[in-house]
Structure 1
Amino acid sequence: MAYWLNAAIAVIGATMVQAIRSALGILSGVSHRLRGSPDPELSQILSRMAALAAFVPPPAEPPAPPALPALAPPSDASQHFPPEPHPIQQYRAIWLSDIHLGTAGCQADYLLDFLKHNESERLYLVGDIIDGWQLRRGWYWPQSHNDVVQKLLRKARKGTEVIYVPGNHDEVARQFDGLAFGDITVREEAVHVTATGKRLWVVHGDLFDGVVQHARWLAYLGDSLYTVILAMNRHFNRVRARLGFPYWSLSQYLKHQVKNAVNYISSFEHAMVDEARRRGCDGVVCGHIHKAEIRDVNGQLYCNDGDWVESLSALVETMEGELKIVYWTMLLDPPQAPPRKRRRAAAITG
C-alpha cells in the first residue's frame, strides 16, 4: 500500500512541475511578443515563477510498479459524467412485424433499442415474430433474442396491451386464437380504432400471398435464398457500423430493383385494401412483404409496418391519431462489449 502511495505522490509532483514549467514558457513567449515596455506586474509574476521552478527539482522517475492492468484515461471531460438519458417517446399504438427471432438476420439489438425508447398504450405484434421455419432447420437463439421476448413480456406486465397476430413463419400460434400467454393475447386478426375514428384491420397478410398459399415449396426455396442474402447483408453492415454509417439493407435494395417483385407488391397492396373494404374498415395494417409504407390505395388506407430484418421500421400512432413510419437505423444506446473484451481493450489502450 505504501509503495502505491509513494508512486502516486511522485507522479503528482512530476505533473505539477511540468505544469509550472509549461506556464512559464507560455508567459515568457507572451512577454517577448509584447511591444513597448513590459508590464511590471507580468515581469514580477514571471520572476517569481522562475524562482519557484528553480527550487523545485524534477522528481526522480518512480520505479516500475508490479504488472497490473492499466486503465485508459478518459479521452475528454464528458466521460467523467454519465451520458444524458434519451427521452422516451409516448405513442397511442405501435405495430411491429417480421422480427424473425431465431434467425441470424434478425436485428435484435436495434429492436431492443427501439423498445427501450418508445412506449405505447397498445402494442401489436403483426406476425413472423418467431421464425419457426428456420428453427426447424437448425437451432439459433442468442441472448439478444431472449432479451426481446423478455422485454415484450415486461411491457405487457407493466400495462401495455400487447396483441399477437401470428404470420406464416409462426403460424403454429394461430391455434391459440383468443388465449393469453403472459398477458399477451393471441388473435388471428384484430381491428384497431384510431383517435380520429378510423377502423384499421390488423392482419399479417400471408393469407393473401399466392406463393405461400399455393406453392409452398417455392416459398421455402425463396426463404433459403433470402437467408443467404441476409448473411451477406449482416457482414456488410458490420463494416458500415464500424465506419459510423447507419444500417442499410442490401436485400431490400436488390428486391426493389426487380420488376416482378414490384408488381407483386402492388398486387398484394390492392388485395389487402379490397378485403379491408369488404370487412367495413377504413384501411389495413399488415406486414409480410418487408416494405414499410403508408399510402392511399383505391380510397383505402394501406399501412405496412415493415420488418426488423431489412428496413428496421415500425408503424406508430401518435396521441393525436396521426400514423407514421419510424425507422430505427441508428442505436441510441449501443450494446456494451462483454466484460473480458472491455478489460482487454482498456489494458491495450493504457
Structure 2
Amino acid sequence: MNINTYRTLWLSDLHLGNRDCKIDYLLNFFEHNQAETIILVGDIIDLWSQKNRSYWPQSHHALLNLLIDKAHHGCKIIYIPGNHDEKIRDFLHYDFGHIQLERQYIHTTATGKKILALHGDEFDDLVTINRFHSYLGDKGYDFLLFLNRWLHHIRRKLNKPYWSLATYLKQRVDKAHQAIARFRQAAIDNAKDSQVDGIICGHIHQPDLQYCDDILYANCGDWVENCTLLTETHDGAIQLRHWTDTHCELIADSRNLFNQNKKQSLKKNVA
C-alpha cells in the first residue's frame, strides 16, 4: 500500500463525538497518509454534542489513540482548541508532553513563510448578523446535517460516492455567502496585524485556499460535510485536498494561486 508523506497537515472540525463525523473517511485517510507535523485547528472533539447525548463509538476512540501514538513516535502534533472543545483551552499552560496545546500557532513552511493557525471563532462578532439570525442558522444547519446523514447512508447502499447536501444548499444561500466573505476578510485583517504571510482557520466548514491582498487565506473545511484538509508538501507548497473514496483529490495549490496573484498585481501596476 502506497503511503503519502507530507511535511505538514492541517485538519479542523473533526467533531469527534458527533454522529455526523465522517470517521470512516478519517481513519481511511490516515491509513494512506502521514506527516512530520499535524496541526489540529479546533473542534476536534465535539463537547457540545456530548452535553446533549453521550455518543462515543470505538472508531472515535481509535482515532484519538492513533493521534496519540503518532505523537509518541515522533510526529509533532499541535492542538488548537475551538469553540466546540473550548473547555480544553483551560489547560493551555499544562505540559502534555507529546501533544502541544496552543491558542494559536505560527508555522514556518519549507520556504520560510509564516503561517498563522487559529480556529476562527475569534471572528464571530464580525460575522454574525445578529443573535436571532445566528440561532436560526444553527437550527437550520442541524436539520441539514440530519438530512445529510440519511442521504449519505442511502448513497452508500447504492455504492455512490460521498456527496454533501448541506454544502450544496449552503453555497446557494446569499446570507451564507455574506458570512463567509466577512469571515475571510476578518481572518486576512488578523493576518496583516500579526505580520504573517498567511492564515489558516477552520470553524465555518467552508474549505478555501486563495490569495487576498497578498495574504494566503486558507480554511481546512471539516470532516462533517466536506472531508477536506490542508497539506504542505516538502517543497513548501500548501494544498487544499479532498479525501474521496479512493484518493486525496487536489483542489487548489498555493504555487498556482501565487503565480495568478502575481500576474494580477502586475496588471494593476501597469494599468
TM-score by length of 1: 0.67
- 1:94 lines up with 2:9 in the alignment: yes
Report if the CA contact (8 A) 1:296-1:302 is conserved.
yes
Q: CA deviation at 1:242?
A: 2.6
Call closer, same or farther: CA 1:112–1:247 in 2, change over 3 Å. Answer: same
Does the 8 A contact of 2:126 with 2:182 survive in 1? Answer: no
Match 2:103 to one of 169, 182, 188: 188
Instruction: Report which of the two structures shows the higher radius of gyration computed on alpha carbons.
Output: 1
Q: Does 1:279 align with 2:197?
A: no
Q: What is aligned with 2:114?
A: 199
Q: Aligned partners of 2:17 and 2:172: how far apart in 1?
A: 28
Q: Distance in 2 between matches of 1:214 and 1:182?
A: 41
Equivalent residue for 1:237?
152
How far apart, in 2, do the equivalents of 1:215 and 1:129 lie?
26
Cα shift at 1:266: 0.8
Give the distance between the partners of 1:216 and 1:150, measured in 2 at CA: 38
Task: State the alpha-carbon separation in 2 of the partners of residues 101 and 181 from structure 1.
Answer: 20
* Alignment match, 1:118: 33
Q: Deviations over 1:2-51 (max 9, x none)?
A: xxxxxxxxxxxxxxxxxxxxxxxxxxxxxxxxxxxxxxxxxxxxxxxxxx
Other structure's SS at 1:262 match: helix
Gaps of 5+ in 2: 248-271
Provide the C-alpha distance between the structure 1 equivalents of 2:130 and 2:91, rounded to a whole number of angstroms: 26
1:157 to 61, 72, 85: 72
1:117 is aligned with what amino acid? H
- Paired residue secondary structure (1:181): coil
Letter in 2 for 1:233: N
Tell me by how many angstroms 1:98 deviates: 0.4
- Of 208, 214, 218 in structure 2, the residue corresponding to residue 303 of structure 1 is 218
Partner residue of 1:228 out of 108, 119, 143: 143
Number of residue pairs the alignment of both structures matches: 247
What is the identity, as a one-letter code, of the residue corresponding to 1:232?
Answer: L
Deviations 1:212-233 (A, max 9, x none): 8896686566434322221211
CA distance in 1, matches of 2:202, 2:45: 14
One-letter amino acid of the counterpart of residue 83, structure 2: N
1:293-338, CA deviations, whole angstroms, 9 ceiling, x for partnerless residues? 1101122100111100011011000001111111112157xxxxxx
After TM superposition, give the deviation of residue 111 of structure 1 in Å. 0.5
Q: State percent identity of aligned pairs.
A: 44
Deviations 1:100-157 (A, max 9, x none): 1111110011011111211111100000011111111111111111111111111111
CA–CA distance in structure 2, aligned partners of residues 303 and 145 of structure 1: 26
Over 3 Å counting, the alpha-carbon distance change for 1:275 and 1:125 in structure 2 is same
Q: 2:207 aligns with which of 287, 292, 298?
A: 292
2: CA distance between counterparts of 1:250 and 1:148? 26
Separation in 2 of the partners of 1:212 and 1:150? 35
CA distance in 2, matches of 1:271, 1:154: 36
Q: Match of 2:83, SS? A: coil
Q: CA deviation at 1:244?
A: 2.5
Per residue, is there more strand in 1 or in 2?
A: 2
Structure 1 gap ranges (5+): 1-84, 333-350
Supply the distance in 1 between the matched residues of 2:231 and 2:40 (Cα, whole angstroms). 12
